[in-house]
Amino acid sequence: MLQDFKTNGISEDDVISHLKDLPFEDLDFAKVDHHRALRKGFPEVIFGQGKTPEHIASISEALLQRSDRLLVTRASQQAYDAVAAKIPEACYEEMARCIVVDNRPQSERKQTPGVLVVCAGTADLPVASEAVVTAEIMGCEVERVFDVGVAGLHRLLAQMPSLQRARVVVAVAGMEGALPSVVGGLVQVPVIAVPTSVGYGASFDGLAALLAMLNSCATGIGVVNIDNGFGAGYFASLINHLPPIEDAGGQDD
């Protein structure tokens, strides 16, 4: 923008108009953080649960005035309808419960391979899908391996080529939460464990899976909160976009 002001003849009024809502815009019911992409590399993400459809739509519209991507998590169909009325290009990922807008030119939509999302059972798909959608909108090519829980371990072992290709694995499981430990013992890359609230009474809405993952004996496992597919997908994207470690050339320490 400053370069345009210097060389391309945009007016001082245009510059001031652009800057006046930075670093955040006050909508009375929300303060929209327009500097999030500068600090974090990705725009502010809207957590839809608990917000009215009208508030979600207004925040979404404000964000897209300053950014080219939008992600709303935990969004209902009603929230999507309100957003789509203002932003026709918005897409609703029903299984993931996410609203997505990607206004980048096709030339800028390069997807970096390396993220693998695995889940234990079909009941875990909403959380696993949230991780997939998050990593994809952040520029990752995501491979999916679903319904490979430890009750039928041969299903997971049949996916060894996918596990070995990955640079980071997101492992989603409810019940006893054993899947990340098994995956962690099979791969040499980071594993992000996601406990879900799937299970019978003694699972305590995912607490049993969370504690099992925190107590895993496998190495290289990090754990996010219960049902936090978004947090896992975001973290996986950060790992996947790290540059590869250069070969040290055999030099001694």
pLDDT for residue 251: 52
Within a domain: 200: yes
Within a domain: 246: no
122 shares a domain with 91: no
**CA distance to 128, 175, 181, 183, 223, per residue, from 231 (Å):** 11, 20, 19, 19, 10
Long-range contacts of 151-159 (CB under 8 A, 24+ apart): 153/182, 156/118, 156/182, 156/183, 159/118
230 shares a domain with 118: yes
pLDDT for residue 248: 44
63 shares a domain with 46: yes
pLDDT per residue as tens, the chain (253 positions): 777 777 877 787 777 766 665 676 667 777 777 777 777 888 889 999 999 999 999 999 988 888 889 999 999 999 999 999 999 999 999 999 999 999 988 888 889 999 999 999 999 999 999 999 999 999 999 999 999 999 999 999 999 999 999 999 999 999 999 999 999 999 999 999 999 999 999 999 999 999 999 999 999 999 999 999 999 999 999 999 998 776 445 455 4
116 shares a domain with 231: yes
Domain final position from 79, 106, 133: 106
Chain centroid to CA 118: 14
Domain final position from 86, 106, 126: 106
Q: What is the CATH number of the domain that holds 178?
A: 3.40.50.1970
**Nearest Cα to 237, choosing from 111, 107, 68?**
111
Collapsed DSSP state (helix, strand, coil) of residue 205: helix
Q: What is the DSSP letter of 152?
A: G
Q: Give the bridge partners for 46, in sequence order.
A: 72
Write the DSSP assignment of 114-143 as a string of letters.
Answer: EEEEEESSGGGHHHHHHHHHHHHHTTEEEE
Token pair 């997908």: residue: 233
pLDDT for residue 17: 67
Biggest CA-to-CA distance, the chain: 67
Domain final position from 106, 129, 163: 106
187 shares a domain with 175: yes
What tokens appear for 240 in the block?
Answer: 């996947």
Within a domain: 148: yes
187 shares a domain with 132: yes
Question: What is the count of structural domains for the chain?
Answer: 2
Q: Give the bridge partners for 117, in sequence order.
A: 144, 170
Within a domain: 101: yes
128 shares a domain with 225: yes
